[in-house]
Amino acid sequence: YLEDVADGVRLMKLAAATEKPLIVLKANTNPASSHAARFHTAALAGDDDVVTAAFRQAGIHRVQNLTEMMESFKVFSLPVIKGPRLAVLGRSGGQAVLLADAVHRYGFELAKLSEDFFSHVRQHIRAGVIRMSNPLDMGDIFNIDAYAGIVEKALAEDGVDGVVISHAYVASLEVAPSRRLLSASLDLSRRYGKPVIPCIIPDKHTWFSVKEEAEAFLFEDVDTALKALSRSLWHHRFQAGRRAAAPKRPARPKKSPPLKPGFMAPDEAFALLGSCGIPHAGLAVAESADSAVKAARRLRYPVALKTADPGVLHKTEKGGVVLDITGEQELRKAFKAMKARRCLVQKMAPAGTEVIIGARKDNEFGHVVLFGLGGIFVELLKDTAMRVIPLTAKEAESMALEIKSSGLLKGFRGRGARDVKALARCIAGISKLLVDHPEICNIDINPLILYGKGKGCIAVDAKIEVS
């Protein structure tokens, strides 16, 4: 149980040093302040969002309440599940169907059971009305002591990673055999190294009695059981593929001259981003209409005109952006209307998929990098992924494909895949920039326009703040 994280990076290192599950209930989640964020990234990466992302990156299981914490303890007292394939056993057809729904809801799948398994089940049925399938309705089997043999037969299947039982029983008649089933389930789980999750449904008095006598691995309903079991599967997958190094405290590989505090002018921001491999649209600074026209001739129309005032962060809302200027008169008119001392003349970039790359400095975890769908609706969509730096290009690519709308990056409805490799290099470049310049406190690249596979990307707007 944590209310504050004094040293987030150290906590992540400790989590990375063990394969044991670390379950954390992080409280005190109210934002410290409610002032409007001047950067999209700051608005999207709130303190609690950073905690969630950092915990996930380190393999820490974050729970939202004490009930989730207790259910997680129960699941992790059993063998960790090593795959998504479940055998689902219910005392009635309705229970079995509800279990099957929960199986899919929490990222599992119904295991394909062998004919040998079903032959064993047929030995115990009476009326022969139940269908041999997974989920299995065991309502036609009245000998509860036979259930343990069915559980064992399921665990012995190579294609089964775990077993879930929904067991409703008549307390006045079936207490003793039901307790034997629960005891056998735990023994079998340990013997086969696969979890058996029993959800028992007796009357309330019997529930407390059974819970008191049994080891703490009983569940009251299938939903909480499967949600808790999904943590076990996530833990296995994380440990199997993690061996990604835990974030280390950034240290400068070379002494970089510190940047001037404050908001960087747009042209300076683009130059700095270019130094870490992030391409941008051609641009020039203009302090008069004549110099703007001269720049546009060199860059070639169409161009965009933007205020170069470092203090104007949301340019679109302040009338500080005019797009698709196609000629000299139009440019002069736009320059006059903008009433800015300095303007940025920028080559219009071809249309593509707009994304955002951002970063901010968190008090507990240091710098975090954010990625998501970009443009003016980025704060409305809130479809983002985050990581604590440092990041490799491979880790950055994995992060980018985490967002819900990652299908747009992979190719969707006739639109080809986007250049995710180029995107990953940009995210990794931001990570390196922050390692070299820890004095940077905020970055927004919004939008970065992403093109088809192998065709790269272009940053068309950028903001950087230095503390």
- pLDDT tens track for 404-418: 989 889 988 878 899
Helices 145-155 and 115-122: crossing angle, nearest 10°?
A: 170
In a domain, 116, yes or no: yes
How far apart, in whole angstroms, are the C-alpha atoms of residue 186 and residue 64? 27
* 360-385 tens-digit pLDDT: 999 889 999 999 987 766 777 788 99
Give the tokens for residue 321. 């952006």
Domain termination residue (choose one: 215, 242, 269): 215
Assigned domain for 408 exists: yes
Q: Is 247 left (phi over 0), alpha (psi -120 to 50) or beta?
A: beta
Query: Domain boundary residue among 156, 183, 215?
Result: 215
CB of 463 closer than 8 Å to CB of 443 = yes
pLDDT at residue number 316: 64
E strand segments, 235-351:
262-263, 283-286, 303-307, 321-325, 343-347
Question: Looking at 196, 215, 234, which one is the last position of a domain?
Answer: 215
Q: What is the mean pLDDT of each run of 10 residues along the chain (467 residues)?
A: 90 91 89 54 73 93 94 94 95 82 95 94 79 85 85 96 83 72 89 91 62 66 92 94 54 70 92 94 93 95 90 65 94 89 92 93 93 78 90 92 91 88 96 95 94 95 93
Q: Could you tell me if residue 4 is inside a domain? A: no
So what's the pLDDT on residue 120?
93
Residues 195 and 91 in one domain: yes
Residues with Cβ < 8 Å from 357, sequence gap 6 or more?
369, 370, 371, 423, 426, 427, 430, 443, 445, 446, 448
Question: Residue 211 corresponds to which amino acid?
Answer: K
Domain count, the chain: 3
- One domain for residues 396 and 338: no
pLDDT score for 36: 47
Please state the pTM of the whole predicted model.
0.82
Q: Return all residues near 277 (Cβ < 8 A) that are at least 6 apart.
A: 425, 426, 429
Instruction: Give the torsion through C-alpha atoms of 99, 101, 107, 109, to 10 deg.
Output: 70
Looking at the fold, whether 338 and 367 belong to one and the same domain comes out as no
Does 86 lie in the same domain as 207? yes
Q: What are phi and psi of 297, to 5 degrees?
A: -65, -40
Residue at 239 is within a domain: no
My answer on whether 210 and 287 are in the same domain is no
* pLDDT of the residue at 35: 43
- Paired with 450 in beta bridges are 353, 457
Does residue 133 belong to any structural domain of this protein? yes
At 44 the pLDDT is: 63
Angle subtended at Cα 17 by Cα 16 and Cα 18, rounded to the nearest 5 degrees: 95
Q: Are residues 173 and 295 in the same domain?
A: no
Together in a domain, 415 and 341? no
Domain match, 357 and 324 both: no
The position carrying tokens 């975890």 is 365
Number of neighbours of residue 28 by Cβ within 10 angstroms? 11
Same domain membership, residue 408 and residue 291: no
CB 444 within 8 A of CB 463: yes
User: Residue 451 falls within a domain, yes or no?
Assistant: yes
Residue 117 within a domain? yes
Instruction: Give the position of tokens 């303190």.
Output: 47
Q: Is 286 helix (H, G, I), strand (E, B) or coil?
A: strand
Q: Based on the domain organization, do 462 and 370 belong to the same domain?
A: yes
Please name the amino acid found at residue 386.
M
For residue 247, tell me if it sits in a domain: no
Instruction: Report the C-alpha dihedral over residues 194, 199, 202, 204, rounded to 10 degrees.
Output: 120
Q: What is the CATH number of the domain that holds 412?
A: 3.30.470.20
pLDDT of residue 245: 47
CATH number of the domain to which 343 belongs: 3.30.1490.20
Do residue 188 and residue 298 come from a single domain?
A: no
Same-domain status, 198 and 101: yes
Query: Cα 73 vs. chain centroid, distance in angstroms?
Result: 23
What is the predicted pLDDT for the residue at 317?
Answer: 56
Q: Which domain holds residue 296?
A: 282-347
